[in-house]
Amino acid sequence: MERYEKAFLAASAVLLVIFLCALGFSSVAMGVHLPSHSGLIYCGVGEKLRMVLRKTPPFDHPGVREIAPGKYQAVVIAKTWAFIPNEIDLPVGADVSFVATSADVTHGFFIVGTRVNTMLLPGQISKFDYRFTKPGEYLLICHEYCGELHHAMSGKVVVK
């Protein structure tokens, strides 16, 4: 084997090990993971889905509630072209469990400056956790094209 071949093989092996370590570190130590599909509310769209959503907890009461000291649950419904609620108020250091869904088409849920980034599918539940350690106003945007007012679909998270 050529000397260069050996060198490149060794470099590839080292890179592979580095990438696997980075993956392991981010998923285990930093808790970075893909938002999971956490359940189905109703398989279908249209008026029936909206009716089922209005009756299905916790989506019958969208909003933020404290579920334990320092722990909050934010229930969010996306629909063309708004988030309900449009503003999420939290104290600094809050541990938030987002429970979200869409009432009509596929929407995105991205809080700028954080790793909160997921898709909201009609009738399916998306769950993800985040801790807001810095005060500020975070922009919440839809980043899945969802129709003519997609660009106007936004909200905010106010941490203070």
Q: Kindly list the residues in this chain that would bind ligand CUA in the complex (CB under 6 A).
A: 78, 81, 107-108, 142, 144-146, 150, 153
- Cβ at position 120, least distance to ligand CUA in Å: 8
Query: Which CB, 88 or 146, lies closer to ligand CUA?
Result: 146
Query: Which CB, 59 or 72, lies closer to ligand CUA?
Result: 59
Q: Which residue has the tokens 């922009």?
A: 139
Among 83, 77, 91, 84, residue whose Cα is nearest residue 123: 77
- Contacts of residues 103-107 at CB distance under 8 Å and 24 or more positions apart, as own/partner, are 103/49, 103/50, 103/53, 103/77, 103/78, 103/79, 104/45, 104/49, 104/50, 104/79, 104/80, 105/45, 105/80, 105/146, 105/147, 106/144, 106/146, 107/78, 107/79, 107/142, 107/144, 107/146, 107/153
Query: Which CB, 153 or 159, lies closer to ligand CUA?
Result: 153
- Cβ at position 105, least distance to ligand CUA in Å: 7
- Cβ at position 96, least distance to ligand CUA in Å: 21
- Cβ at position 50, least distance to ligand CUA in Å: 16
Query: Which CB, 72 or 83, lies closer to ligand CUA?
Result: 83
